[in-house]
Amino acid sequence: MLLPRRLIAVAFVVTAAAGCTAPAAKEPLAVAGTLREPVATNATAGTSAPPSTASTFVPAVSPEKLSSACPFLDIAEYQRTFAVNQELVTKEEPPDHSNGITTYTCDFLFTSSHSSASAYLYVFATGETSVKASLEVSARSCSAKPHYLGDNAFYCIDAADNSDGTDLVVTKLSHRQMRIAIVSSGVPLDVDHPDGYATLAKTLFDRL
């Protein structure tokens, strides 16, 4: 699966070690050197059990403790925002514990393969307190200037190698944590229709 946000915690550790005044948030500069899993609909079907489907979706309501990523975004909400017409299923990945930060990942997989992904949702929390600084560090993963959606979110072109996909980043200070949700999609950026991104950003913000 796609690995770039598995390196999120590195940004916090590096910034803390350097004694920076601005709190680090999520995206390390190393993200640009990682590879995105190809987005495809015709991959060979896997042999594992089928992931969960949208019919079981129960939206998160700002939980006291983070424990998964899939409850923060429904398949229909993702498809509507990114104009994805193919049938999808979701799969919760095992949490990644790196450098003191736990990252939860939800895969949005094409039903035809259960292995090739249209997008990934990453959710994690830190002890930082500045939303502005968090977003500034997050924006380092963009290959061009991000498009901000108010004070807590932006969308941009993902800077991952060989990628013209889209990242939607939402940050919220919630339950004494800086919580961050990232929708990393293989769908190219649509700067002409920002309303969809804004709507999804608000949805994620309310659930974080």
Distance between CA atoms of residues 73 and 16, nearest Å: 31
Give the helix, strand, coil percentages of the chain, each rounded to 5. 30, 30, 45
Residues composing the chain:
208
Residue 21 lies in a domain: yes
Residue 43 lies in a domain: no
What's the confidence (pLDDT) of residue 161? 59
DSSP assignment letter at 7: G
Residue 45 lies in a domain: no
Q: How many CA atoms lie within 13 A of 21 on its CB side?
A: 0
DSSP 3-state of 21: coil
What's the confidence (pLDDT) of residue 59? 87
Contacts of 61 (CB under 8 A, 6+ apart): 207
Total domains, the chain: 1
Residue 38 lies in a domain: no
Q: Exposed/middle/buried for 145, CB within 10 Å: 0-12, 13-18, 19+?
A: exposed
Range of the domain at 67: 4-30+50-207
- The torsion defined by the Cα of 174, 81, 54 and 125, in degrees rounded to 10, comes to -20
Distance between CA atoms of residues 6 and 28, nearest Å: 10
CA dihedral for 15, 16, 19, 24, sign (positive or negative): positive
Residue 90 lies in a domain: yes
pTM of the model: 0.76
What's the confidence (pLDDT) of residue 2? 38
Yes or no: say if 8 and 101 are a contact pair by the CB < 8 Å rule. Answer: yes
Distance between CA atoms of residues 174 and 37, nearest Å: 31
Residue 89 lies in a domain: yes
Residue 63 lies in a domain: yes
DSSP 3-state of 110: strand
What's the confidence (pLDDT) of residue 27? 32
What's the confidence (pLDDT) of residue 28? 29
Distance between CA atoms of residues 84 and 78, nearest Å: 8
Residue 36, CA distances (Å) to 20, 164, 186 in order: 30, 10, 8
Least Cα distance to 197 among 134, 157, 153 occurs for 153
Residue 162 lies in a domain: yes
Distance between CA atoms of residues 49 and 96, nearest Å: 21
Show pLDDT as tens, one digit a residue, over the chain (208 residues).
333 444 444 443 333 333 343 333 333 223 332 233 334 333 334 444 455 444 578 889 999 999 999 999 999 999 999 999 999 999 999 999 988 889 999 999 999 887 889 999 999 998 778 898 888 888 888 988 999 999 999 999 987 755 789 999 999 999 888 999 999 999 999 988 899 999 999 999 999 9
What's the confidence (pLDDT) of residue 55? 56
Distance between CA atoms of residues 2 and 60, nearest Å: 24
